[in-house]
Structure 1
Amino acid sequence: MASPTAGHGLATRPRYALRLLALGYLVFLLVLPVVLIGWRTFQGGIGPVLDALTSSQAQSAFRVTLIVAFWTVLANTVFGVGVALLLVRRDFPGKRLLNTLIDLPMAVSPVVVGLALILVYGRFAPVGARLEDLGIQVIFSTPGMVMAAVFISLPLVVRAVIPVLEELGDEQEQAARTLGAGSWQTFRRITIPGIRWGLAYGVVLCLARALGEYGAVAVVSGRLVEKTQTLTLFVEERFQNFDEHAAFAAATALALVAVVTLLLIKILRPKG
């Protein structure tokens, strides 16, 4: 007669096997490549890393990346909160269609997004030509890069705020209006404090996507060195030109940003 302990051991084997499989998958697909990049970055010491990251080209790439990320987060925060309030608090014709369109950037390739922006805002496109006449260059400049990053990160703030708004309800907002509070006062004192953690979570996700975006930005930027080159484009350009120190140093900087972002996401993620 088999003992209960033996039966329990047999039952737990598949569980441990699945855990080992998942852990091995993550180690070889994610952890090992990142560790190797870090090792290649610092194998020559800290000096070459600092030299690579303080070069004029690297500093320009950092600056362009931060500018694009800032305007992307700002635009998507305003848009995300407004659309989330519209979808949760209002009923209107086309609401279901709008709710579906919000997720469109998740299904469209970033390269396609960049190409579409060129077809609309390029120098020889009707809209782009008109803007060029007004002295506004969109493609191969910062505005086009911001538009590309805004598009690919469009749903992140909206989808982070909507569940929080639904859970919050509108009872407190209605009570505030009954007591004489205006719309802006209610929004500032009731709505924003109620959604602040969900909003922060969506903002961090949007920031991470904007900092690491490559495909759409690569198409519309023109990859002009020290003009429209982001950090991801800098990594590719340096690696293709056999400057491995600079490429690995910038890649490590991006990886560190990703780790910090991951920690913030874990902290800010709404409970439940």
Structure 2
Amino acid sequence: MGFATNGSADKPLKFLIYGRTGWIGGLLGKLCDAQGIEFAYGTGRLEDRTSLESDIAAVRPTHIFNAAGVTGRPNVDWCESHKVETIRTNVVGTLTLADVCREKGLILINYATGCIFEYNKEHPLGSGIGFKEEDSANFIGSFYSKTKAMVEDLLKNYENVCTLRVRMPISSDLSNPRNFITKITRYEKVVDIPNSMTILDELLPISIDMAKRNLTGIYNFTNPGVVSHNEILEMYKEYMDPKFTWKNFTLEEQAKVIIAPRSNNELDTTKLKQEFPDLLPIKESLIKYVFKPNQKTSSA
């Protein structure tokens, strides 16, 4: 897409990253270190335009990454009772950052969410028909998803923004409480629904390549295909803990213990695969990046 950046092609990369204390923001910093890319974390608050302008003036970045946002602790139910705080960061803050970036001629790589869709008649569960980048959100069951759908729709008008729809992120760090695998291994009961998911070990380096290519627009930022909760837990049992057991419950039973409904969907990854043809299907990526590196060697 044609967004004229201020950075020339031969200018060394320098990233300004928001979300220092977050999971993705922390991983991004480590990736930049590993790749020898100069970077700094933003100190300004997203909703404070002047502080963002100060960060940009001090750092003079070639690209900006936004991994800041409110997801709620311990989960998105928090957003239901903290609506203004959620709007301030997820809507006002993200839009302010995008606007400042556009004014300064900078591309913004924005880690968004794919939890703005749910299976429907046109995209039935198990059909393999995924939601595409141009599809409008059809899930606003949680306030978190509602704010994310709103801001994605508005950001479509900013030609300098690359929106990455992340879903149910997973990494090889199984000690991280934000990791989807870590979450479901600790739940008393889990639902069993196939979903699109994001293996961060494979996809975060791709987001750096996207910045290098100055890509903009929306991308479904998940591995191709879907995987169900039970399939992941079967892998966990096989690779990590042969004694591991779990219990399932239905969506109706789940609804009784959560405040806000959760999104379940499949995202179409054709667009991302055209740019990155080596992207692994979700189950292969899980084995290669998560389970094999963590595999517990069973005693003979």
Global fold match (TM > 0.5): no
Structure with the larger RCO, 1 or 2 (CA within 8 Å, 6+ apart): 1
- The TM-score, its normalising length taken from structure 1, stands at 0.22
- The TM-score, its normalising length taken from structure 2, stands at 0.21
Q: Which has the higher helix share?
A: 1
* Larger Rg, first or second structure (1 or 2): 1
